[in-house]
Amino acid sequence: MKYQSLTFHSPDIAISIIIPVVISQSKELCKNFSIVEKEADVMALIDTGATNSSISDKLANNLDMKVIEQCKVAAAGGIHTANVFLIDISLKNMINFKNIRAAGFVGNEAFDIIIGMDILTQGDLAISNHDHRTVVSFRVPPDTKHIDFSVDALTQD
């Protein structure tokens, strides 16, 4: 099976996984409603604890993104109402995800995008920490077999 993949290397143990991405309002939405498409190179946090991907309100505003709906979001600060945007995300200009519904969040200095399980479940994600360095690999689509470290440990005797 042909797949696309990317790998990020950290020089030490990573306490968070932040990667470069290219973001834009959905090309399909721009075409259907004659919206000028703008894109930006930004940083994204990989968050396996996030059900859905999100975009900072500041970035959405800077790119003049149109709100497509609102939703309730449960976060560490409680439940609040958030704007929802339809976005396209490109990881290393290789792996593209189109028409992702992304709720807005109040951003910070480290990242403007949160990549949640709605994207991560479209592929295989592996994180290893050999020699005190974190390596993250992601491939799309998922492989035909699961990665199972328990089975691997049994065959190493």
- pLDDT, mean of residues 106-121: 92
Fold of 4-154: Cathepsin D, subunit A; domain 1 (2.40.70)
- Bridge partners of 39, per DSSP, are 24
Domain limits of the chain? 4-154
pLDDT at res. 153: 58
Asked whether the bond before 141 is cis by omega within 30 degrees of 0, the reply is yes
Q: State the pLDDT confidence band at 146, using cuts at 50, 70 and 90.
A: confident
pLDDT, tens digit (0-9, with 9 covering 90-100), for 35-69 = 888 999 999 999 999 999 999 999 999 999 999 99
Whether the CA torsion 138, 93, 87, 14 is positive or negative: it is positive
User: What gap in Å lies between CA 113 and CA 27, rounded to an integer?
Assistant: 18
- Residue 69: alpha-carbon gap to chain centroid: 20
User: What gap in Å lies between CA 23 and CA 38, rounded to an integer?
Assistant: 8
For the CA atoms of 25, 56, 5, 41, the dihedral, rounded to the nearest 10 degrees, stands at 70
Q: Average model confidence (pLDDT) for the chain?
A: 90
pLDDT, tens digit (0-9, with 9 covering 90-100), for 2-40 = 888 889 999 999 999 999 999 999 999 889 888 888 999
